[in-house]
């Protein structure tokens, strides 16, 4: 079976080049710094507030600083949510006794360093999937571009509790918050939802294109096999050392999906988008396209491939 996509003329066209890998690492480093900026600003504000007192124990009189003092004491936001006020005060008092008081005149610096240590650790946890978040944003922006290029109106699923929001001419930054997009194709409604747990496979799927309107984008629709137009796996990690493992995970997930839907006599399209694609992985993706076990694919670092895949998606 021939691979009928102009954006993938041969297997090697899928391979991520060295300069693309380098650019990807730089982009992720910049994103980490962007996300760290609020913490640095908080630390500066904490320092300015703490300099108003002369002794460590006088910090207890600054009630507004309690959350920051708890962080400096090593108490995470999650842990603080399970603590009663007396527990929080006890943790802060012990922290001052053991770490700030012994620091003498340098107690403010000690406070700020330990605040940054706890906040940095929490940030590190959220950054473990920075590649995945950036990949989703990049793909969302490409879909939005394809929609606006064809003058197709859309809605987007905002942060939790905000629901579906209307298209805006000032759409800069939407990709940072969108959890889904909706539009019409040939008069039929379409919704693409990210990170959806599909009842039929009982697993999380990175991208699901559904045959429904935003108002019908509900658990009932998610349980309907016939509602699925396409499903896809998105791997945003740029490190080539983990590329093969990411592809194996995605391939297994897509095959599992095909089998589960096949039992219902339904065959949604399947696609794969990856940032780091190495030679042998590219060959396997090519063979999957030729064999029909994969319907489309793109390298996230190659704009022409991403744009082509997005145009294919909005045409389904």
Q: Write the CATH number for 95.
A: 1.10.238.90
Residue 101 has pLDDT above 90, yes or no: yes
Q: How far apart are CA 181 and CA 193, in angstroms?
A: 7
Domain contains 55: yes
pTM for the model stands at 0.81
Domain contains 221: yes
- Identify whether the C-beta of residue 247 lies closer than 8 Å to the C-beta of residue 235: yes
Read off the pLDDT of each residue in 23-52 and give the average, rounded to a whole number: 90
CB atoms within 10 A of CB 48: 10
Q: How far apart are CA 91 and CA 80, in angstroms?
A: 10
- Identify whether the C-beta of residue 2 lies closer than 8 Å to the C-beta of residue 290: yes
- Identify whether the C-beta of residue 293 lies closer than 8 Å to the C-beta of residue 255: yes
Q: Say whether both 218 and 259 belong to one domain.
A: yes
C-alpha closest to that of 225 among 182, 269, 271, 266: 266
pLDDT category at 170 given cuts 50, 70, 90 is: confident
Q: Write the CATH number for 235.
A: 3.40.91.10
Residue 284 has pLDDT above 60, yes or no: yes
Q: Say whether both 186 and 269 belong to one domain.
A: yes
DSSP 8-state symbol, 16: P
Domain contains 240: yes
DSSP per-residue letters across 162-189? T-EEE--S--TTGGGT-SEEEEEETTEE
Angle between helices 243-262 and 279-291 (to 10 degrees): 20
Domain contains 181: yes
Which region holds residue 292: left if phi is over 0, alpha if psi is between -120 and 50, else beta?
left
Burial of 160 (0-12, 13-18, 19+ CB in 10 A): exposed
DSSP 8-state symbol, 293: S
Tell me the pLDDT tens digit for each residue of 111-158: 999 999 888 877 766 666 777 888 999 999 999 999 999 889 999 998
Give the list of residues 6+ apart from residue 310 with CB closer than 8 angstroms, or none.
139, 142, 143, 145, 146
Domain boundary among 112, 127, 142: 127
For residue 205, the enclosing domain spans 11-31+129-315
Tell me the pLDDT tens digit for each residue of 45-92: 999 999 999 999 999 999 899 999 999 999 888 888 889 989 999 999
Instruction: Please tell me the predicted confidence (pLDDT) of residue 58.
Output: 93
Instruction: Please tell me the predicted confidence (pLDDT) of residue 119.
Output: 86
Q: Say whether both 94 and 133 belong to one domain.
A: no
Q: Considering the chain, what percentage of its residues have pLDDT values greater than 90?
A: 66
Give the list of residues 6+ apart from residue 265 with CB closer than 8 angstroms, or none.
none
Instruction: Please tell me the predicted confidence (pLDDT) of residue 171.
Output: 78
Q: How far apart are CA 60 and CA 31, in angstroms?
A: 36
Instruction: Please tell me the predicted confidence (pLDDT) of residue 27.
Output: 87
Q: Say whether both 86 and 157 belong to one domain.
A: no
**Dihedral (CA of 54, 60, 64, 66) sign:** positive
- Identify whether the C-beta of residue 243 lies closer than 8 Å to the C-beta of residue 276: yes
Domain boundary among 67, 94, 127: 127
Read off the pLDDT of each residue in 165-182 and give the average, rounded to a whole number: 86
DSSP 8-state symbol, 54: S
Q: How far apart are CA 258 and CA 249, in angstroms?
A: 14
Who has greater pLDDT, 162 or 112?
Answer: 112
Report the number of distinct structural domains present in the chain: 2
């Amino acid at each position: 079976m021939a691979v009928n996509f102009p954006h993938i003329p041969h297997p090697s066209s899928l391979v991520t080049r060295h300069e693309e890998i380098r650019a990807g690492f730089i982009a992720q480093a910049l994103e980490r710094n962007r996300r760290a900026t609020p913490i640095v600003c908080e630390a500066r504000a904490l320092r300015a507030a703490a300099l108003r007192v002369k002794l460590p124990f006088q910090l207890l009189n600054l009630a507004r600083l309690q959350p920051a003092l708890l962080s400096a004491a090593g108490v995470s936001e999650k842990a603080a949510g399970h603590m009663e006020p007396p527990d929080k005060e006890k943790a802060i008092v012990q922290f001052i006794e053991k770490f700030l008081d012994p620091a003498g005149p340098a107690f403010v610096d000690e406070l700020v360093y330990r605040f940054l240590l706890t906040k940095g650790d929490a940030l590190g946890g959220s950054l473990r999937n920075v590649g995945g978040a950036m990949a989703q944003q990049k793909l969302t922006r490409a879909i939005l571009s394809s929609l606006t290029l064809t003058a197709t109106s859309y809605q987007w699923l905002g942060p939790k509790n905000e629901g579906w929001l209307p298209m805006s001419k000032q759409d800069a930054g939407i990709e940072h918050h969108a959890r889904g997009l909706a539009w019409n194709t040939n008069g039929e409604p379409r919704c693409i939802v990210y990170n959806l747990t599909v009842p039929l496979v009982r697993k999380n799927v990175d991208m699901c294109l559904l045959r429904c309107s935003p108002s019908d984008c509900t658990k009932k629709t998610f349980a309907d096999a016939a509602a699925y137009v396409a499903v896809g796996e998105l791997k945003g990690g740029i490190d080539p050392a983990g590329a093969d493992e990411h592809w194996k995970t995605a391939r297994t997930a897509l095959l599992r999906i095909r089998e589960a839907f096949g039992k219902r006599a339904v065959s949604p399209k399947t696609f794969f988008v990856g940032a780091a694609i190495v030679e042998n992985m590219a060959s396997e993706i090519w063979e999957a396209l030729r064999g029909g076990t994969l319907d489309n694919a793109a390298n996230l670092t190659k704009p022409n491939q991403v744009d082509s895949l997005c145009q294919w998606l909005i045409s389904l």
